[in-house]
A = this chain, B = another copy of it.
Amino acid sequence: MATISDVASRAGVSTATVSRALNGKSTVDPELVARVIAAARELGYQPNGPARNLRRQEAAVLALIISDVENPFFTAIARGVEDVAHKVGYSVVLCNADENAAKERRYIDVAIQERVAGVIMSPTSTATNIDPLVNRSTPVVAVDRPLPGHPSDTVLVDTRLAAREATEHLLARGYRRIGCVTGPSGVRTAEDRLAGYRDALRAANQRGSTRLVRRTEFRAPGANRAAHELLAQPEPPDALLVANSAMAIGALGALAERGLRPGRDVGVVAFDDVPWAALVDPPLTVVAQPAYEIGTVAAQLLLARVNDGARPATTTTLAARLIERGSSHR
């Protein structure tokens, strides 16, 4: 494989000049630049990344550690991050922690070992430990969920308010016993959505009952079981607030299995506006989170911090938007 000195001898210059020419330093004779570029092309020269990163003590790479690659919310974030990063010459490596603290820990180690410029992550839980990153002063931006412990740039959605509005919407539609299927305890978004739900009930002078609330993993099977449990009760809920789209699949499945029609029999609002939401019958009312924008904002914050480690940490909170469809209409 061609190295920088191969290019240097072919162009009849020193390696230093090749390096300067290829990195666009302004202090190089234009004619030499042309010769270097030609030589590099002829040899199919590609710089050796590890050597460059070793020398520079940093790679033009951002790590994005997300909790679940199969969740469209997180893949949309990924696209936002990529679009911003690529524009300024950074690559993004996507790591799937799979809602698994051990995998997450492993990817944090990989990010450190590879000396990436910065890390964007959605922590799997409040147990997430970023001390290793902080100790090495690798910039970290949290998305979707805040990081425990250290102050860091954070991009969130006002999901508590969104959950409140969604619940108020159900109340306004005439549903009276609203249930909530949310994520595991220890995950901030799960807590916030539940809190927003309770805010709305309290504001309407309803006493929330724990019999109407279930916590489960953020996936379909758990939500399916949870919905069945709620609906099997003597006084079942007449509406459900569901905390993400995978869970919506489980919950809607449970309704179908019980012969209940969303909207008419049980009102349903779920978080995340997935492409198929408008397609089910009746179409699903959702809380649309600005996932792509979370990604772009996070990437901008991270790049800013890479260039200035002393910037004070900020928290950006984006608004979600309720999209009313048939599943919350009797």
Residue ranges of A at the interface with B (Cβ–Cβ < 8 Å)? 1, 44, 46-54, 59, 69-70, 72, 75-76, 78-79, 82, 86, 91, 93-96, 98, 103, 106, 109-110, 112-115, 132, 135-136, 220, 246, 249, 252-253, 256, 274-276, 278-281
Contacts and interface: CB of A to CB of B under 8 A. Distances in A.
A47 B93 CA distance: 19
A252 B275 CA distance: 11
B113 A47 contact: yes
Contacts of A1: 136
Given A46-B132, A75-B75, A281-B280, A96 B82 contact: yes
Total copies of this chain within the assembly: 2
A290 to B, nearest CB: 16
Contacts of A91: 110
Where chain A touches its partner, the secondary structure class is helix
Contact of A70 (B50, B75, B94, B135): B75
Contacts of A246: 275
Given A72-B70, A78-B69, A275 B220 contact: yes
A229 to B, nearest CB: 20
Contacts of A275: 220, 246, 249
Contacts of A51: 50, 54
A255 to B, nearest CB: 10
B50 A59 contact: yes
A46 B112 contact: yes
B48 A54 contact: yes
A49 B276 contact: no
A118 to B, nearest CB: 15
Contact of A256 (B48, B54, B86, B279): B279
Contacts of A274: 276
A48 B116 CA distance: 11
